[in-house]
Amino acid sequence: MKLIVVGFGQCGSRIADEFSRLNARARLHRRIEIVPGAFAVNTDVADLSSLSSIKSDFRHRILIGNRKTGGHGVGKINEMGAEVARQDSDKVIEAVGSAKRFYEADAFLLIAGAAGGTGSGSMPVMAQAIKARYKDKPVYALMALPFEHEEKTEARTVHNTATCLKAAYSVADAVFLADNQRYVHKDSSLASNMTAINRLIAEPFYDLLCAGEEHRAKNIGSRLLDAGDIGQTLRGWTVLGWGKSPLPIIRLPFERNRNFRKKSTETHRGIQAMDQAISNLSLNCNPKDACSALYLLSAPTTEMNMDLVKELSDYLIELAPGAVIRYGDYPRRDSALKITVILSQLKRVERVKEYYQKLSAALKEKKRRQEEIEAELKELIDASDSVPSIL
């Protein structure tokens, strides 16, 4: 599957930068391309300058709203981010369509931090504009949810997140949710944490995108998982996870067929990787709420067999009994068995529901406080009635 990746705001642009880096890795090591175009859209010049992999020309690093913001951002006001996106939407669409291999792409992936100003405001607006222009390509959104401390200390965080999630869900074909808090390493520096989190968010897409683009016969699975399967799976709220289990460095050719202990270990290794993928889902959720799911098994050919596939399928069916499940294999000469899992069409997402409820309560509290302030100001004005004016 090939994606046109567009990042919005600081967070979205940096994750898009990681996708550009994944594409460079795929071209170097696998001779395939998975991201024909990677773009960053922002209202802040400094943020655009901090990227390292996306091309530095004005068609790939796109500054919007310069007249309104002077190139210094929207100050977390996502309504302003939406406004400048509407005004400059043609600039973004023209730049995205200029990618050399644009028409080879299967879908768009639009990325933003849900709590920011530029990202949370402009991403849904641009998703709507892109869907109107390119009706034949699905538009997927990847939303990075805020850290816990941001929700507690920044008043606009819940407002931006709730309004962005609602808007993105109404226009995008599927919305990937990534909870920043799940990737935090508390002892690491802030810069190291942010870089690591962005890479962890992008990494699970790597094998998934590569599998359907392989052209070497030895790397094409017996059950190919390509853009069609992925497109049929992705709908609505979606989460993604990735797990791996190391393989023995040296294996004798007769061990797998003759030793029952080795056979059991192979199956256990696959289940272990599946467990890790479910534990590492980008957002904490109940797999039973998924209506569609897929998994991709990536390992050396000698490590993949029908018994393993059956065990993995049965395990995922047990975890998500109401889901339509698709699967594929991806033969790779590697030192680990890897599994990528997607759970989509989630019926219930408690985290999203919490944001909606928090914003509703906050708006009621804001209205109450405003009424109190107006009442106190009226008392002050009434008290000044008998005071003569010098104006």
Q: What is the mean pLDDT of the chain?
A: 90
Mean pLDDT, residues 115-121: 93
Nearest to 17 by CA among 69, 61, 68: 61
In the prediction, which pLDDT does 151 show?
Answer: 84
Q: Quick check: 163 pLDDT over 60?
A: yes
Over residues 59-71, the mean pLDDT reads: 90
pLDDT at 253 over 70: no
Q: Categorize the per-residue pLDDT at 108 as very low, low, confident or very high, splitting at 50, 70 and 90.
A: very high
Distance from the Cα of residue 262 to its chain's centroid: 37
Residue range 349-371: mean pLDDT, rounded: 91
Once rounded to an integer, what is the mean pLDDT over residues 46-66?
Answer: 92
Domain map (residue ranges) of the chain: 3-203, 238-344
* 187: confidence class by pLDDT, cuts 50, 70, 90: very low
pLDDT of residue 210: 95
pLDDT of amino acid 126:
96
pLDDT at residue 16, as a whole number: 96
- The average pLDDT across 179-184 equals 86
For residues 341 and 198, give the distance between their C-alpha atoms in angstroms, rounded to a whole number.
19
Per-residue pLDDT band for 188 (boundaries 50, 70, 90) equals low
Q: Between 303 and 317, where is the model more confident?
A: 317
pLDDT of residue 383: 85
Domain 238-344 has CATH 3.30.1330.20: yes
Note the CATH number of domain 3-203: 3.40.50.1440
Write the pLDDT tens digit of every residue in 20-44: 999 999 999 999 999 999 999 999 9
Does residue 87 have a pLDDT over 80? yes
Position 184 pLDDT exceeds 80: no
Instruction: Taking residues 152-175, report their average pLDDT.
Output: 92
